[in-house]
Amino acid sequence: MLTLKNIFHISLLMLAIGIEINQAKECKIPENNEDIDWDKVKDDWYMVLHTNDEIMKEDVIGVRLRNISNTNEGMRMVITELHENSPPQTFTSHRIKRRDGVYHREKSEEPAALASHTLTPDGGTNDKAKKIDDALFNGDILALCDEKNFLVNAFCSLSDEWVVWVAFPTLNPTIHQISLMWNKLIEKGIVVQLYPSKTVAHPELMESLK
């Protein structure tokens, strides 16, 4: 019998095959985007898909987003990141709104993100991951969210490639939820190959945080 989890992995494979043929060559955040009422984005959200960038493919194996809300400047959320070789890190992210759907990370929070994203098991620094954070904190972030099915953060790397992190309100999203997310990316001209987070195959790692 084809379970929901099997369907999910098959759908990911189909997406990967389709988008590998037509990779986007330009990274540019669209001018016109939808406003998001963050107070309607309830409960916990989990990183399920990403572009396998240097942050997500090395040490970060899962991400949980919670306590999402509007602020006077834009929005805030509490982020917990699970790591392959180090303890979980929890920090608050404030985002300053530039225009509908486009935000900028609070610069004062960069050290916390760097500590979570770039630390290697031997106590050194992953310079390639640091370049992703340099782009994250020095450029704009496109937020795409229908407030109940998907939450996308997308930004341009220093090499002008899309970095896309996709969260859902579950580690096992439905095909409908994935389709809604994918259609929104296509609408915005974002064509990338997406990979599942390691916690999709090992949800017990994320559940242990509750």
Structural domains in the chain (count): 1
The pTM of the full predicted model, rounded to 2 decimals, is 0.86
DSSP state of 157: -
* Per-residue pLDDT at 84: 81
Distance, CA of 28 to CA of 77 (rounded, Å): 25
Residue 87 burial by CB count (10 A; 0-12/13-18/19+): exposed, middle or buried?
exposed
How far apart (Å, rounded) are the C-alpha atoms in residues 149 and 151? 7
Q: Tens-digit pLDDT profile for the chain (210 aa)?
A: 334 454 455 455 545 545 554 454 579 999 999 999 999 999 899 999 999 999 888 778 899 999 999 999 999 999 999 988 778 889 999 999 999 999 999 888 888 888 788 777 777 778 898 899 999 999 999 999 999 999 999 999 999 999 999 999 999 999 999 999 999 999 999 999 999 998 888 888 877 666
Question: What stretches of 22-148 show up as alpha helix (H) in DSSP?
Answer: 54-58, 110-117, 127-138
- The answer to whether residue 26 is domain-embedded is no
Within a domain: 161: yes
In whole angstroms, give the CA distance from residue 23 to residue 42: 33
Calculate ∠ Cα 60-80-59, nearest 5°. Answer: 10
State the CATH number of the domain containing residue 96: 2.40.128.20
24 within domain boundaries: no
> In which domain, by residue range, is 43 found?
4-17+33-207
Whether residue 27 is contained in a domain is answered as: no
Q: What is the pLDDT of residue 205?
A: 80
Q: Give a yes or no: residue 109 inside a domain.
A: yes
- Please tell me whether residue 160 adopts helix, strand or coil conformation: coil
Inter-residue contact 60 to 83 (CB < 8 Å): yes
Judge contact between 133 and 141, C-beta under 8 A: no
Assess if residue 23 is contained within a domain: no
Amino acid in position 16: A
Helices (H), the chain: 4-21, 54-58, 110-117, 127-138, 175-187, 198-201, 203-207
| Cα-based torsion angle of the residue sequence 26, 30, 35, 38 in order, rounded to the nearest 10 degrees | 20
Q: Residue 141's closest CA among 183, 177, 179, 99? A: 99
| Spatial separation of the C-alpha atoms in residues 31 and 115, rounded to whole Å | 32
Q: Is residue 174 part of a domain?
A: yes
> What is the pLDDT at residue 7?
47
In a domain, 98, yes or no: yes
